Structure 1
């Protein structure tokens, strides 16, 4: 039993209409308080959001501090607008960044990306979808359309300050929403079209003297469309649809292959760092609103992990994985502010191209993919 998300927050005004603040403290059993793959807790609680927003220039609001990065809808939207408990694999693996000093593959460090003294079986930090920086953003209403943009210049660091790069990240976002009757605030009904792009550089430490590696590109981008509530608005339909297509180039978290008898990777954390290593994610979402209390959801997602690769002995076709998940959910709304969410997720993982692997390595790949079980979750959400 664990509590994946235990968070309190505060939002308010220092100067009404001009300066507001937003702070969240997360004490859950998650990457904010644990290092990835390390079972002992590192932090009792972590400030995952701490920002101030200035509204002095018409058309350009300025946000400073730590906050959510503009990116995929699944990660960017607020918890009260999230229909599912579990993230898709692409977002969880590729968008939620884990930071490491040294990179490994097989049983040893990758030359030019780490050394024997700094590769680990756990990550040093994670960003939990946030970054520290400055963001310029606003929204504009044109008839029934609302257009919004965001440009964020960020440090490219974890929530505990791990920062190993030679520059700043740039995060871009655009969305256009067609307003429909019903809902309000984050739950306003409508149809939303959106696109986003993230870019930055990452480095490793390659020797005991602290020498930095060459720069490695980290690129993420995607497009999508979704119905915000019933697809034709309140009292006009009972269905919700959504779609998102996402890509990643470089710095792709591949995970270790630990807990397997004679596993060749020894549990070392592995990142496919070169830009030639690429992944693709696609998500299809459907919702059915029976009445004001009952909501039924279904989401299909697929992650083509390393569908393109460097094509060397370090990263090649044998490292490709196909992850296909189907999540079935029920939301019961006690009141507009309180709901109970139940999810059951069917998970299917394959290693489709093992022709270049040895028999032992191919067997290990099949053991890993065959060991992935289904996922079950229950969550109570109350907003006030």
Structure 2
């Protein structure tokens, strides 16, 4: 639901599915200057019917699913989700490259450590790469995690991410599992923004028409906020193999197969006595992307274990008091549960500037128990139009169906989930380099 969390890397134009996003983000071409600045801003409109909760202790109050991040104050929003400024370049005859960027706007990256929006601007990228070690470039700093294509791509293909990427891959940080009444258990600072602070070894190998890319990374596991508590080293593995058909950069045609994994530990207070314990957090994915002529196709399947985000009590806005005045809604985490899901995203370029898209995505969350399992399904119909190289608009309509598949249709959970609305989204991008 936090649509701005896949923030633009440095305003790269989004033109393809089969691009090598890891290398485009982490390296510079041989003719790159020592300094190149970029800025990007987006304006977003989203709306639902704002149907209130249909069941439970907060019945009749706002349903968080039908409102919009980051503040959840209305079922209709007009906001600036992303404003990014940064620079990147090539130094010492290419021995060293760098990337720096900061982000502002109505998004969950600028959230402060007290739970909400005290920061005006937050660092998004701050890394340097040493390119002189054969077959092993070394990148250190705050950088994008080597994950799946939806997380790696510098712009979103749709207004909203797929459910599995948004809820399971995009990390949110909490102090508690949410089991204590009276504590809304707000987020601890920013979301990860698909980034971490650490060191990454990576490179690309060309073998005829095939391009192979690997990345090994060790990180803090704290996303963009180094002051968050962490319990160990986060480990990342990435591999992709792409059969290149032709073209260059974001616009090239090809078939790419990739796999990735992320694993580490998190500290969380659990149970009525809120005992502090450590839990595994594991994520892994397999995916493929294709672009050939006017057609493009992307798909990914993701498995998750541990630290599963489980939404707010009763679907209410965290901090809301129940109708009987006894309960306070708060966020919940399932520290030892599992989840899995994926998406298939088809695009057709009608003309150079116009592309239409159809995406189906599904998420099975909390699968180890009938009482926690929720199935999220979305069908998104939309498209994008590029007015110029610097100006682009994305329009989507998303059909949503949520249910607890192992509970009766008349259960309070399924009655509540019946009230989840479809939603419409429009996002306009403007970006430029200098």
TM-score by length of 1: 0.83
Equivalent position of 1:31 in the other structure? 108
Residues 1:269 and 2:269 aligned together: no
Residues 1:100 and 2:195 aligned together: no
Correspondences of 1:237-276 after superposition (within 5 Å): 237-257=293-313, 258-259=316-317, 261-262=322-323, 266-274=328-336
Equivalent position of 1:220 in the other structure? 283
CA contact under 8 A between 2:114 and 2:188: conserved in structure 1? no
Partners of 2:230 and 2:146 lie apart in 1 by 20
SS at match of 1:317: coil
Partners of 2:373 and 2:245 lie apart in 1 by 42
Structure of greater relative contact order (alpha carbons < 8 Å, 6+ residues apart):
2
In structure 2, the CA distance between the partners of 1:33 and 1:7, relative to structure 1 (3 Å rule), is same
Deviation at 1:204, TM superposition (A): 2.1
Correspondences of 1:1-384 after superposition (within 5 Å): 1-34=78-111, 41-79=117-155, 82-105=156-179, 107-108=180-181, 119-125=183-189, 126-182=191-247, 184-205=248-269, 213-227=276-290, 229=291, 231=292, 237-257=293-313, 258-259=316-317, 261-262=322-323, 266-274=328-336, 277-307=337-367, 309=368, 316-354=369-407, 362-363=411-412, 366-368=415-417, 370-384=419-433
215-224 or 162-171, which deviates more = 162-171
Structure 1's consecutive aligned runs of 4 or more residues displaced over 4 angstroms after TM superposition are 35-38, 259-265
24-33 or 367-376, which deviates more = 367-376
Residue-by-residue CA offset, 1:10-64 (whole Å, 9 max, x unaligned):
11123231111101111021111136996x5221010111111111101000010
Partners of 2:258 and 2:286 lie apart in 1 by 6
Partners of 1:145 and 1:270 lie apart in 2 by 44
Q: Flag structure 1 segments of 5+ consecutive residues without an equivalent.
A: 109-115, 232-236, 310-315
365-374 or 344-353, which deviates more = 365-374
CA contact under 8 A between 1:171 and 1:199: conserved in structure 2? yes
Residue-by-residue CA offset, 1:279-329 (whole Å, 9 max, x unaligned):
11110111111111211111110111122x2xxxxxx31111111111122
In structure 2, the CA distance between the partners of 1:133 and 1:55, relative to structure 1 (3 Å rule), is same
Deviation at 1:268, TM superposition (A): 1.5
